[in-house]
């Protein structure tokens, strides 16, 4: 149900309610509640539909094509709670046109029946419905229609947050998939490795928004900035708030506009609602003029071919219609002309318009937003609270290309989290008491794990579970300095120095949300993830990941209570001055009293960790850090051994303040990794040759 008209009354000092007024300032004596309905199809060419309308929320409609026609779209649709139809426009196509039949959405009337190159169709909506999309579309040589599909909507029909998140994320995925030139949501990917994406965020601070709603939207764009900043390409931000006038917080051409920490700090301290006090009209054209000025200034900083390769995304958040400054569409046209946006360059500009609240002027936002086939750029939400749910979904991209260290948080299945983890098993008939191990996927065909995981078995006896698939291996490489019995004559039964191994799979892993690599330090992939310059060295990565601080927060993967899922447990790497005290805890355990020199047990290649401890069967797993909480994970350690098994004879992990785990420091075995992976991964300068490494006695 919805209220008609949308009205309000104020409790006056006299104790009486004011006259009821609608948002359009008409006075009413009574308010009505009407049942929400979805638009009726005006007609359905080359087929039939049933039942006939009207259609209430929850009603279904079925489309059936006549013989000889090809069904496309959704033949079964449901009237959703927001008075919009589920699925896509149903079409019965004869396949005769150069372009497919564009169909006729419910509530719309199409003019034009020819679908050859350069032919046009036009749309109008029934009385009382707002048209969103391209009123005129042209059949292109690419067999696609220009613009975007029409939707006819009632004024009370808002978008559902979950739909907005998916649609916006789907559109952005064509921008954020940075490595493969392939179709993604109807577009060809343009951004390359180290490409540049300009993101302009325009936040409405007009009087009708209110400070609370402004702050909600502000928090949402902070989340968006933080997430977009984690991707490999260079993302430069332009941030502004606008009302009667525009206040620029960050110019896209500022030297620090791609530094996420700087951008977030500026948003927190300078994006303030009260900055527009007493001047709180809605001048959208003025805000877009500021975007144009940024572009014009920035263009002079680049060579022509560099400038033409930059993609631009404008995200406008507003609660109402522009009431001053002129028509926003005029500035949109000027921006398109300045960027030379034509059919061959449509992918270089995306304009998203978010209308929030009851007074959204869909017609005006429709003029502003981009119109691209199979994409949606205009969204309307009932209130600012809904924007929270939307922006939490926006960057849950399905295809991240080859980007390393990304943990897809969009899945409710915890087994898909930390998709670099590998479960290493030995066939039961050959196990002979051997425990399973973990490893980490570091490229499409290579796994990094511990050397001690391979005890007397051939590679054909092992299986490697990654995501939902199981793989076999063709090659195993153990570090030349690994020798588990090296110190047996010194009372050290097992020596875990250089406890590292590489495994090459027989086939490549196809990257997905459940199977993708972790970032390996001192590689180009990790360098892009850190946003380091191309001139960065391996020492820069060392300082970034294992800095001068003594305690570094980290995580490792453990089997859950039922051993069917994985969970991330938190630990701290005791580094630099804290390392010696961390190691000395070993003496508190009776079983290690005979160890006179702890350096015999813990090598300089080991990281000492306290906190949650690992259990038997988790050796070889990754120790990882997430610098500045960017949701990009870098492997710094390989689980080698622990002095305490918290799961022994227990159904849950039993903590101990004196327990320690030791991980092989990945940065200390990079010569080994580079020697065997140089054709697979690109390594940074500053790594010694493996031949220069002298194995300990």
pLDDT at 458: 85
With a cut of 90, say whether residue 443 has pLDDT above it: yes
The pLDDT confidence band at residue 415, using thresholds 50, 70 and 90, is very low
Answer yes or no: are the C-beta atoms of 680 and 525 closer than 8 Å: no
pLDDT at 261: 87
**Tokens 């959405």 appear where?**
105
Q: Please tell me which residue in 350, 499, 540, 661 is annotated as part of the active site.
A: 499
Distance CA 15, CA 206 (A): 30
Distance CA 170, CA 161 (A): 14
pLDDT at 423: 94
- Quote the strand ranges of 297-360, DSSP E: 311-318, 349-356
% the chain with pLDDT above 70: 86
Buried-exposed string 518-548: b where 16+ CB fall within 10 A, e elsewhere: bbbbbbbbbbbbbbbeeebebebbbebbbee
pLDDT at 29: 57
Answer yes or no: are the C-beta atoms of 325 and 284 closer than 8 Å: yes
Domain contains 400: no
What's 356's domain CATH number? 3.40.50.410
**pLDDT tens-digit profile of 565-603?**
788 899 999 999 999 999 988 888 877 777 777 778 899
pLDDT at 531: 84
Contacts of residue 274, defined as CB under 8 A and 6 or more positions apart, other chains included, come to 211
Burial bucket for residue 501 (CB in 10 Å: 0-12, 13-18, 19+): buried
Q: Same domain, yes or no, for 511 and 535? A: yes
| Three-state secondary-structure class, residue 690 | helix
Tokens (6 digits) for 425: 């098993």
Angle between the N-to-C axes of helices 161-176 and 385-393, in degrees from 0 to 180, rounded to the nearest 10: 40
Any catalytic annotation for residue 619? Answer: yes
With a cut of 70, say whether residue 191 has pLDDT above it: no
pLDDT at 107: 94
Contacts of residue 632, defined as CB under 8 A and 6 or more positions apart, other chains included, come to 230, 404, 405, 406, 519, 529, 530, 626
Q: Same domain, yes or no, for 68 and 174? A: no
Name the residue among 468, 453, 459 with its Cα closest to residue 413: 468
Distance CA 549, CA 577 (A): 9
**pLDDT tens-digit profile of 133-158?**
999 999 999 888 998 999 999 888 88
With a cut of 60, say whether residue 669 has pLDDT above it: yes
Q: Same domain, yes or no, for 383 and 286? A: yes
Q: Which structural domain range is residue 574 located in?
A: 414-692
**Tokens 């194995």 appear where?**
695
Domain contains 295: yes
Q: Which of 94, 123, 153 is the last residue of a domain?
A: 153
With a cut of 70, say whether residue 529 has pLDDT above it: yes
Distance CA 171, CA 176 (A): 9
Rounded average pLDDT over 611-622: 92
Tokens (6 digits) for 352: 């998203």
Domain contains 402: no
In Å, how far are 62, 112, 205, 595 from 43, measured between CA atoms?
A: 13, 14, 43, 87
Answer yes or no: are the C-beta atoms of 563 and 557 closer than 8 Å: no
Q: Same domain, yes or no, for 172 and 248? A: yes
- Paired strand residues for 478: 501
Q: Same domain, yes or no, for 622 and 559? A: yes
Angle, CA of 136, 138 and 142, to the nearest 5°: 150
**pLDDT tens-digit profile of 224-249?**
888 788 777 889 999 999 999 999 99
The pLDDT confidence band at residue 182, using thresholds 50, 70 and 90, is very low
Q: Which of 102, 126, 153 is the last residue of a domain?
A: 153
Domain contains 697: no
Q: Same domain, yes or no, for 425 and 282? A: no
Distance CA 109, CA 358 (A): 26
Q: Which of 128, 153, 178 is the last residue of a domain?
A: 153
With a cut of 60, say whether residue 410 has pLDDT above it: no
pLDDT at 438: 96
| Three-state secondary-structure class, residue 366 | helix
Q: Which of 8-12, 21-25, 212-216 has the lowest mean pLDDT?
A: 21-25
Q: Please tell me which residue in 253, 452, 541, 575 is annotated as part of the active site.
A: 452
Domain contains 181: yes
Answer yes or no: are the C-beta atoms of 527 and 194 closer than 8 Å: no
Query: In angstroms, what is the C-alpha Rg of the chain?
Result: 30
Mean residue pLDDT of the chain comes to: 85
Q: Please tell me which residue in 171, 258, 322, 619 is annotated as part of the active site.
A: 619
Name the residue among 440, 455, 446 with its Cα closest to residue 566: 440
Q: Same domain, yes or no, for 287 and 425? A: no
What's 533's domain CATH number? 2.40.10.120
pLDDT at 207: 84
Q: Model's pTM, two decimal places?
A: 0.74
Q: Same domain, yes or no, for 527 and 601? A: yes
What's 96's domain CATH number? 2.10.70.10
The pLDDT confidence band at residue 394, using thresholds 50, 70 and 90, is low
With a cut of 70, say whether residue 172 has pLDDT above it: no
Rounded average pLDDT over 20-29: 51
End-to-end CA distance of the chain: 81
pLDDT at 414: 42
Range among 128-142, 153-167, 408-422 with highest mean pLDDT value: 128-142
Domain contains 398: no
Pairing of strands 60-65, 47-50: antiparallel
| Three-state secondary-structure class, residue 557 | strand
**pLDDT tens-digit profile of 35-78?**
889 999 988 999 999 999 899 999 999 999 999 999 999 999 99
Domain contains 449: yes
In Å, how far are 522, 524, 675 from 681, measured between CA atoms?
A: 10, 8, 10
Tokens (6 digits) for 223: 């989340």
Q: Same domain, yes or no, for 439 and 378? A: no
**pLDDT tens-digit profile of 618-632?**
999 999 998 766 678
Rounded average pLDDT over 423-429: 82
Q: Which of 82-96, 197-211, 420-434, 475-489 has the lowest mean pLDDT?
A: 420-434
pLDDT at 59: 95
Any catalytic annotation for residue 499? Answer: yes
Angle, CA of 204, 240 and 339, to the nearest 5°: 105
If you ran DSSP here, which 8-state letter would residue 625 be given? E
Domain contains 482: yes
With a cut of 70, say whether residue 276 has pLDDT above it: yes
**pLDDT tens-digit profile of 296-311?**
999 999 999 999 989 8
Any catalytic annotation for residue 408? Answer: no
**pLDDT tens-digit profile of 462-480?**
999 998 899 999 999 999 9
Q: Same domain, yes or no, for 470 and 506? A: yes
Query: What is the count of structural domains for the chain?
Result: 4
Q: Same domain, yes or no, for 167 and 137? A: no
Distance CA 82, CA 159 (A): 7
Tokens (6 digits) for 395: 């960057």
Q: Same domain, yes or no, for 68 and 97? A: yes
Distance CA 305, CA 259 (A): 24
Name the residue among 162, 136, 155, 161 with its Cα closest to residue 147: 136
In Å, how far are 239, 291, 328, 362, 690 from 287, measured between CA atoms?
A: 10, 7, 9, 18, 57
Rounded average pLDDT over 509-531: 91
pLDDT at 571: 94
With a cut of 90, say whether residue 343 has pLDDT above it: no
């Amino acid at each position: 149900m919805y209220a008609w008209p949308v009205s309000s009354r104020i409790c006056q000092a006299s104790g009486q309610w004011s006259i009821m007024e609608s948002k359009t300032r008409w006075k009413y004596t009574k308010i009505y509640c009407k049942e929400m309905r979805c638009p009726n199809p005006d007609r359905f060419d080359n087929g039939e539909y049933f039942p006939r309308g009207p259609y209430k929320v929850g009603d279904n409609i079925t489309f059936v094509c006549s013989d000889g026609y090809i069904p496309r779209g959704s033949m079964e649709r449901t009237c959703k709670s927001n008075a919009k139809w589920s699925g896509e426009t149903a079409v019965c196509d004869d396949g005769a046109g150069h372009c497919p039949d564009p169909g006729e959405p419910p509530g719309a009337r199409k003019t034009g029946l020819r679908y050859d190159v350069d032919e046009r169709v036009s749309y109008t909506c029934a009385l009382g419905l707002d048209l969103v999309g391209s009123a005129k579309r042209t059949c292109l040589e690419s067999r696609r229609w220009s613009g975007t599909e029409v939707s006819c909507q009632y004024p009370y029909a808002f978008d559902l947050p979950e739909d907005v998140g998916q649609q916006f994320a789907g559109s952005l995925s064509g921008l954020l998939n940075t490595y493969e030139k392939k179709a993604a949501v109807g577009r060809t990917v343009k951004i390359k490795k180290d490409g540049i994406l300009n993101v302009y965020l325009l936040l409405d601070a007009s009087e009708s928004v209110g400070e609370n709603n402004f702050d909600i939207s502000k928090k949402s764009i902070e989340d968006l900035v933080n997430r977009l900043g984690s991707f490999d390409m260079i993302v430069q931000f332009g941030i502004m708030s606008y009302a009667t006038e525009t206040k620029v917080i960050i110019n896209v051409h500022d030297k620090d506009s791609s530094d996420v920490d700087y951008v977030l700090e500026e948003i927190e301290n300078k994006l303030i609602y009260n900055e527009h006090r007493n001047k709180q009209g809605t001048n959208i054209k003025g805000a877009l003029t500021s975007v144009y000025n940024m572009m014009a200034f920035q263009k002079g900083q680049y060579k022509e071919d560099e400038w033409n390769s930059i993609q631009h995304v404008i995200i406008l958040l507003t609660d109402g219609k522009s009431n001053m400054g002129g028509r926003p569409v005029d500035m949109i046209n000027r921006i398109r002309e300045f960027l030379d946006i034509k059919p061959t360059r449509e992918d270089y500009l995306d304009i998203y318009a978010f209308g929030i609240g009851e007074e959204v002027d869909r017609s005006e936002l429709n003029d502003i937003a981009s119109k691209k086939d199979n994409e949606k750029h205009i969204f309307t939400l009932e209130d600012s609270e809904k924007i929270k749910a939307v922006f939490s979904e926006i960057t849950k991209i399905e295809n991240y290309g080859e980007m390393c260290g990304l943990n897809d948080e969009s899945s409710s299945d915890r087994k898909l989290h930390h998709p670099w983890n590998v479960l290493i098993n030995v066939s039961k008939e050959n196990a002979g008491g051997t425990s399973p191990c973990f490893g980490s996927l570091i490229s499409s065909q290579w796994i990094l794990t511990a050397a001690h995981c391979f005890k007397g078995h051939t590679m054909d006896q092992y299986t490697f579970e990654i995501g939902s698939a199981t793989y076999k291996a063709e090659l195993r490489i153990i570090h030349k300095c690994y020798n588990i019995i090296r110190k047996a004559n010194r009372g050290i039964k097992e020596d875990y120095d250089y406890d590292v191994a590489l495994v090459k799979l027989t086939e490549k892993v196809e990257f997905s949300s459940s199977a993708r690599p972790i970032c390996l330090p001192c590689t180009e992939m990790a360098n892009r993830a850190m946003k380091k310059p191309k001139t960065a060295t391996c020492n820069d990565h060392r300082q970034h990941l294992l800095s001068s601080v003594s305690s570094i927060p980290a995580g490792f993967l453990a089997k859950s209570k039922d051993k069917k899922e994985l969970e991330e447990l938190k630990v701290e790497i005791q580094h630099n001055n804290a390392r010696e005290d961390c190691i000395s805890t070993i003496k508190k355990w009776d079983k290690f009293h005979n160890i006179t020199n702890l350096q015999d047990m813990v090598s300089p290649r080991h990281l000492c960790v306290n906190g949650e401890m690992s259990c038997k069967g988790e050796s070889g797993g990754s120790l990882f850090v997430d610098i500045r909480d960017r949701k990009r994970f870098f492997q710094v350690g390989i689980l080698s051994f622990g002095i305490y098994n918290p799961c022994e004879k227990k159904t849950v992990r039993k903590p101990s303040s004196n327990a320690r785990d030791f991980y092989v420091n990945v940065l200390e075995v990079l010569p080994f990794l580079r020697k065997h992976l140089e054709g697979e991964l690109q390594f940074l300068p500053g790594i010694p040759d493996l031949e220069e490494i002298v194995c300990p006695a």
